[in-house]
Amino acid sequence: MSVSIAVPVLFVSEPIVLPGMVVPIELDDAARTAVDAAQASDSGKLLIAPRLEDRYPTHGVIASIVQVGRIPGGGAAAVVRGEKRAHIGSGTTGPGAALWVEVTETADVDPTEETKALAAEYKKLLLAMLQRREAWQIVDVVNKITDPSALADTAGYASYLPDVQKRELLETEDVDRRLRLLIDWTAEHLAEVEVNDKIADDVRSGMEKTQKEFLLRQQLAAIRKELGEGEPDGSDDYRARVEAADLPDKVREAALREVGKLERSSEQSPEGGWIRTWLDTVLDLPWNVTTEDSTDLALARTILDADHHGLEDVKDRIVEYLAVRARRAQRGLQVVGGRGSGAVMVLAGPPGVGKTSLGESVARALGRKFVRVALGGVRDEAEIRGHRRTYVGALPGRLVRAIGEAGSMNPVVLLDEIDKVGSDYRGDPSAALLEVLDPAQNHTFRDHYLDLDLDLSDVVFLATANVIENIPSALLDRMELVQIDGYTEDDKVAIARDFLLPRQRERAALTTDEVEVTDDALRKIAADYTREPGMRQFERLLAKALRKATTKLAADPSKLTIDEPDLVAYLGRPRFTPESEERTAVPGVATGLAVTGLGGDVLFIEANATDGDAGLKLTGQLGDVMKESAQIALSYVRAHAEQLGVDPKALDRQIHVHFPAGAVPKDGPSAGVTMVTALVSMATGRKVRGDVGMTGEVTLNGRVLPIGGVKQKLLAAQRNGLKTVFIPQRNEPDLDDVPAEVLAALDVKPMTDVAEIVAQALEPASEAAHVAA
């Protein structure tokens, strides 16, 4: 039951007094009056309430006066003990000049199980907080408190709770609510304390580690000084290394300047790390290290022949290079510190013909180190010229790194896939290669990272490319072009027999006594299973056949011989069959020859006419040049209809010319004669001979102009079973590069007039009329 009593009231700004607290309070005049009134009353009690600026307090603590005296500073003070939480009622009168109020004491409530659980959780958090502060005496006091309300009111002593939260506790009569508030506040503060302690520990340990390392380094430096040893990572050691290194004079001067900067910089300066990295890079480069070229020309040619079949142009060029080097050496004409006698060649051709592997063979033939630089997809100029040293993580360019990897200043550097170099906002790497691949300039190549002249004039650069048109003209002009146009059927059989088959036998752990592949089988694979200019797919098919052979040997260890009739069981049905006869079985279809990024290929051109307004429709994803060639072909046929035996009315219709394989882009003028032949065949009803292929640009007057890729086109004609090929008369000198076996298999006819090609390519008119009948 609640009891109301009248007591004098004492308003205090701080501290906030809760029940159970014993606190001193300085006595001013108002406080002295309230204390005197309480001592004169029968109860001897007074109410201590917080002084609020915005409102009248609703709760206070009924307290007893323990002692009145003076504090060390000389002022008066009273020690009071908070006893009961009370609700403040209306004002009343009492003895003395103090302010009296009626208050209602808060009734005690027996704790419930939930209250006890909340008290236990709060006690656990409070003890954790006290243990972190090592307040063991207070821990003992808290452990002895069993009353949940008294335990909650001990928060009045908590220094981490602001006065606002303490006032909220004073005004909260419900014990459960008080405990919940304290659990939330204490848990939040404990988490904050743990984070702060962890940060402080990390900072402290970091400082201790730094101080420890500094002390140890000072002691180590003193010990090395006593022993007469230099600091291995210090500037003194770098100076000694630079002076001892075999460096060119200008490089040594630049390196010593950087060592001077290192000596003047502090150990904490980031510039010191940049200088050390630069010096390490400079000292690791083989500035005056070169390998001696082999002068045995016969041995060099033997090495090249042993590694690659054919490719005579490249082999001849390398042997010529060696011959010149040997002759200059005999006559004492070596160039020192200037333009060397390096070579810059680009090997252009379809995939799989051995361009990349040729670089390593060239290095072995020359007796030089070999390093490969992959340029496919490179879009950053800094990959070639290096990054400026001011950038974080700066590195020298790929060429400088390649020289470092090779360990000599005259390696063979293979620039692989030079036609796949791109450009974007970071610059154009192909423009940076202009200086690298110019024999007249690359003796003073300057990398942005090194910022020193690097002599690349004695390096043999071999570049590889599939499509010459993708190489910038200025860059192509600086290189010696060597075309590798693909292999004939005989070449493929020889390469498979001498190179691919032994390699695949070794990979399959087979011997010649276990599996044999006949030449007839190899020739069948080359003719009907692959139509590539290179050998990659051929080698995959050999690997497939040998895997199946290995599986059979596991069941039956007797020797296997893979002959032509056995290929279906090992490789499946042939993928390619001659189709020229089938495609040209109707009028209006002619067989042309084209060059793609994968080598030479046949190109069928179909012409048809439908009723409607006269006009020309072209399909097959064509470029502008090819569209113009089609217009020229149609104009020529119309202008020379009588000479060609064409009824002019047959051309006054809607003409449709289609180039099959519409997903493949096509362009170029070399299909001009083929389009003329297809149009004449369509208009006259005479079929084109199935064994005939042709290539050449045509003019409005019917002249046949020269084109490129003659060798690749003739190789494609042979692979596809053609017998007669018409080429421009002015391309006749290009036949010197065509293998003899290809010329023996084909009837190559150089022509100057497209009308002569049409006359020989079409079947006779009597046969056409007979077929029509």
Task: Characterise 74 by phi-psi region: left (phi > 0), alpha (psi -120 to 50), beta (else).
Answer: left
- Binding site residues, as ranges? 349-356
Instruction: Of 36-45, 152-161, 317-326, 764-773, give the lowest mean pLDDT range.
Output: 764-773
The answer to whether residues 687 and 763 touch, using CB atoms and an 8 Å cutoff, is yes
Place of tokens 């006054």: 652
pLDDT tier for residue 728 given thresholds of 50, 70 and 90: very high
Q: What is the reported pLDDT for 236?
A: 54
Question: For 397-430, what is each residue's pLDDT tens digit?
Answer: 788 888 888 888 888 888 888 888 877 677 677 7
| Choice among 123, 670, 681, 687 that is catalytic | 670
Distance CA(740)–CA(729), nearest Å, equals 19
Is residue 338 scored above 50 in pLDDT? no
Question: For 190-231, what is each residue's pLDDT tens digit?
Answer: 888 888 888 888 888 877 777 887 788 778 777 867 776 554
Of 492, 511, 408, 518, the closest CA to residue 456 belongs to 408
SS3 at position 64: strand
Beta bridge partners of 538: none
Residue 272 identity: G
Phi, psi of 364 (to 5 degrees): -65, -40
How big is the CA angle at 213 (ends 207 and 219), to the nearest 5 degrees?
135
What are the E-state strand segments in 38-110? Answer: 45-50, 59-70, 76-92, 100-105
User: Would you list the domain boundaries of the chain?
Assistant: 4-105, 235-284, 297-483, 489-571, 580-772
Q: What is the reported pLDDT for 769?
A: 44
CATH code of domain 4-105: 2.30.130.40
Question: For 544-560, what is each residue's pLDDT tens digit?
Answer: 999 988 988 888 888 88
The answer to whether residues 534 and 351 touch, using CB atoms and an 8 Å cutoff, is yes
CA 136 → CA 130, 141, 142, 305, distances in Å?
7, 9, 10, 91
pLDDT tier for residue 476 given thresholds of 50, 70 and 90: confident
Of 340, 308, 283, the closest CA to residue 461 belongs to 340
Cα-Cα-Cα-Cα dihedral of 576, 582, 583, 589, to 10°?
Answer: 150
Q: What is the reported pLDDT for 772?
A: 39
Q: What is the reported pLDDT for 770?
A: 41
Residue by residue, DSSP assigns 595-614 as EETTEEEEEEEEEEEESSSS
Q: What is the reported pLDDT for 224?
A: 66
Is residue 726 scored above 90 in pLDDT? yes
Longest dimension (CA), the chain: 149
Selecting from 3.40.50.300, 3.30.559.30, 3.30.230.10, 3.60.21.10, what CATH number does the domain 580-772 have? 3.30.230.10
SS3 at position 750: strand
Question: For 248-287, what is each residue's pLDDT tens digit?
Answer: 888 888 888 888 887 777 666 777 778 888 888 888 888 8
Instruction: Of 403-407, 564-568, 574-578, 631-635, give the lowest mean pLDDT range.
Output: 574-578
pTM flag (> 0.75): no
DSSP H or E run through 481? strand 480-483
Using only C-alpha atoms, the chain has a radius of gyration, in whole angstroms, of 49
SS3 at position 403: helix
Phi, psi of 456 (to 5 degrees): -105, 10
Phi, psi of 42 (to 5 degrees): -65, -40
Q: What is the reported pLDDT for 334?
A: 60
Question: For 620-652, what is each residue's pLDDT tens digit?
Answer: 888 888 889 999 999 999 888 888 888 888 888
Phi, psi of 24 (to 5 degrees): -85, 145
Which pair of structure tokens corresponds to residue 399?
Answer: 């060429």
Distance CA(198)–CA(248), nearest Å, equals 55
Distance CA(236)–CA(369), nearest Å, equals 34
Q: Are the folds of 4-105 and 580-772 the same?
A: no
Which pair of structure tokens corresponds to residue 94?
Answer: 């009492």
Which pair of structure tokens corresponds to residue 494?
Answer: 């020889």
Beta pairing, strands 480-483 & 344-348: parallel
Distance of CA 154 to the CA centre of its chain: 63
713 is catalytic: yes
The answer to whether residues 671 and 592 touch, using CB atoms and an 8 Å cutoff, is yes
Task: Characterise 749 by phi-psi region: left (phi > 0), alpha (psi -120 to 50), beta (else).
Answer: beta
Cis peptide before 15 (omega within 30 of 0): yes
- Binding site residues for ATP, as ranges? 349-356
SS3 at position 83: strand
Beta bridge partners of 604: 591
CATH code of domain 489-571: 1.10.8.60
Which pair of structure tokens corresponds to residue 534?
Answer: 């290179």
| Mean pLDDT, range 128-153, rounded to an integer | 81
SS3 at position 77: strand
Average pLDDT along the chain: 83
Question: For 116-132, what is each residue's pLDDT tens digit?
Answer: 888 888 888 888 888 88
Task: Characterise 689 by phi-psi region: left (phi > 0), alpha (psi -120 to 50), beta (else).
Answer: beta
| Mean pLDDT, range 711-740, rounded to an integer | 87
CATH architecture of 297-483: 3-Layer(aba) Sandwich (3.40)
Q: Is 196 exposed, middle or buried (0-12, 13-18, 19+ CB in 10 A)?
A: exposed
